[in-house]
């Protein structure tokens, strides 16, 4: 049997160096294993603190630390197995780095048969918690008209339905998207109060939409072809009601092999690069503050900008 490395007393730089070397030749789905101290021995200990068990010194790390390490190195953390009274066998499986972002453009990238449509963002805790809290802060139950740009099949409306309760039936929702079959799916889910348009978001001036108490757009404004700054100005000036609010979301993550991975990758960079999204968020926040909005930015894997009128 191949000897299993023991990382239970090593410092993180040693572990990182060893895993990097071991993983370089692995193919997607292949595993590497190593021994760690069972994190259940370390409640209240910080990562890297040492603990003495049965006269032997170990280094404490939480499950969060090990999962973060797996993610950073392009692995999925698998279920650990008991080894002895102090240690566990931990296994990492190499992720397949392809995702829906790499799907070819000669088919519907966001259609109901695409990889994208397998994703349910509200099943990811880091998305659902931040999004739900943002909806509460913009007083979602008190918004009579909502404009949803990039609605797709309407996943982001489900938390609104739950939070609004009986008031949801009285909310008029307009959804705009370019995928016909996704819009049909959204209409089936929210037939009581949803009207949809298959249209280019850059050409909203061609539609007679009126004004809205909330403008919602999650994961759409960063899409290629969207002229973000002119669109934001047009929406505020022409489609937002007095006292209205905006809730806008940007993915600070990517979907890889079934996993939501922190950090969005820009074209031509082999790593997560945040300057563009930071620049966009700064511009929008400054513009909205000039128009007497209170603006906060929250989230992690998804960044949420929520703006409420103070004028």
Count the neighbouring beta carbons within 10 Å of the beta carbon of residue 277: 16
Fold of the domain built from segment(s) 12-94: Translation Initiation Factor IF3 (3.30.110)
Q: What pLDDT shows up at residue 106?
A: 44
Q: Which helix (H) or strand (E) is 23 found in, with range?
A: helix 12-23
Give the lowest-confidence range in 102-106, 151-155, 225-229.
102-106
Q: What pLDDT shows up at residue 1?
A: 45
Output the pTM of the full model: 0.89
Q: What pLDDT shows up at residue 271?
A: 80
| pLDDT value at 173 more than 60 | yes
| pLDDT value at 103 more than 60 | no
- Give residue for tokens 């061609």: 206
Same fold yes or no, 12-94 and 101-309: no
Return d(Cα 274, Cα 301) in angstroms, integer. 12
What is the overall mean pLDDT for the chain? Answer: 92
Structure tokens at 23: 């993983």
Q: What pLDDT shows up at residue 184?
A: 96
* The CATH number of the domain covering residues in 101-309: 3.40.50.150
Question: Would you kindly state where each structural domain of the chain is located, as residue ranges?
Answer: 12-94, 101-309
φ, ψ of residue 296 in degrees (nearest 5): -130, 150
Return d(Cα 103, Cα 170) in angstroms, integer. 39
Residues 199-221, mean pLDDT to the nearest whole number? 95
Return d(Cα 249, Cα 130) in angstroms, integer. 10
- List, for residues 122-137, the tens digit of each pLDDT value: 999 999 999 999 999 9
């Amino acid at each position: 049997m191949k000897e299993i490395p023991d990382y239970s007393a090593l410092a993180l730089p040693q572990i990182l160096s060893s895993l990097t070397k071991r993983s370089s030749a692995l193919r997607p789905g292949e595993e590497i294993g190593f021994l760690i101290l069972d994190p259940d021995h370390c409640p209240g200990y910080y990562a890297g603190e040492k603990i003495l068990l049965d006269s032997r010194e170990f280094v404490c790390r939480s499950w969060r630390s090990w999962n973060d390490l797996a993610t950073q190195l392009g692995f999925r953390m698998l279920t650990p197995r008991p080894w002895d009274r102090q240690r566990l066998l931990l296994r990492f499986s190499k992720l397949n780095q392809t995702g829906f972002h790499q799907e070819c453009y000669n088919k519907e990238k966001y259609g109901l048969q695409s990889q994208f449509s397998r994703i349910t963002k509200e099943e990811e805790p880091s998305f659902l918690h931040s999004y739900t809290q943002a909806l509460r802060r913009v007083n979602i139950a008190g918004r009579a008209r909502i404009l949803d740009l990039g609605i797709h099949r309407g996943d982001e409306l489900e938390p609104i339905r739950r939070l609004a309760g009986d008031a949801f039936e009285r909310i008029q929702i307009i959804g705009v998207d370019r995928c016909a079959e996704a819009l049909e799916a959204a209409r089936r889910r929210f037939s009581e109060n949803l009207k949809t348009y298959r249209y280019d978001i850059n050409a909203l001036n061609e539609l007679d939409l009126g004004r809205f108490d909330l403008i919602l757009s999650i994961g759409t404004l960063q899409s290629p072809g969207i002229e973000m700054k002119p669109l934001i100005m047009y929406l505020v000036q022409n489609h937002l009601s007095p006292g209205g609010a905006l809730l806008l979301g940007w993915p600070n993550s990517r979907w890889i092999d079934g996993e939501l991975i922190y950090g969005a990758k820009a074209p031509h960079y082999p790593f997560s690069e945040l300057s563009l999204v930071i620049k966009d968020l700064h511009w929008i926040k400054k513009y909205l503050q000039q128009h007497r909005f209170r603006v906060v930015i929250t989230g992690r894997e998804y960044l949420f900008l929520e703006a409420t009128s103070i004028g």
